[in-house]
Amino acid sequence: MGSSDISRLIGCDHATVIYGNRKAAEQLEIMNAEYIAALNNWKEIFERNDIEIQEHTTTEGMLKNRLVAVLRDGIASSLVSPDGVGDLLIEVLRTFAPEYVQED
């Protein structure tokens, strides 16, 4: 994949991609610790996304997986109680699909 292909994917011109590649190479050459740490963080994000894409064949599957992870993390960090998950999901439905919520 060349600079022109990458530029179309990320919405910039090919010169910006070439410049970014050159700057990245310079930062790696001088062993900029902050830059390398940032690259490693992005690498982890892309690896997680790649695994998620491989595990699910549909966008709905990916969204469900993310929603479950957010709720699990919310319960684990006491941001929401296990009993409150249902109420939270009803509020989400009210926002995005009110036709599925029966009001009392």
Q: Is the dihedral of CA 33, 35, 41, 46 positive or negative?
A: negative
> pTM here?
0.43
- Residue pLDDT, tens place only, 66-100: 888 888 888 888 888 888 888 888 888 899 888 98
Cα distance between residue 48 and residue 62, in whole Å? 12
- Residue pLDDT, tens place only, 18-70: 998 899 999 999 999 999 999 888 888 777 776 666 666 677 877 888 888 88
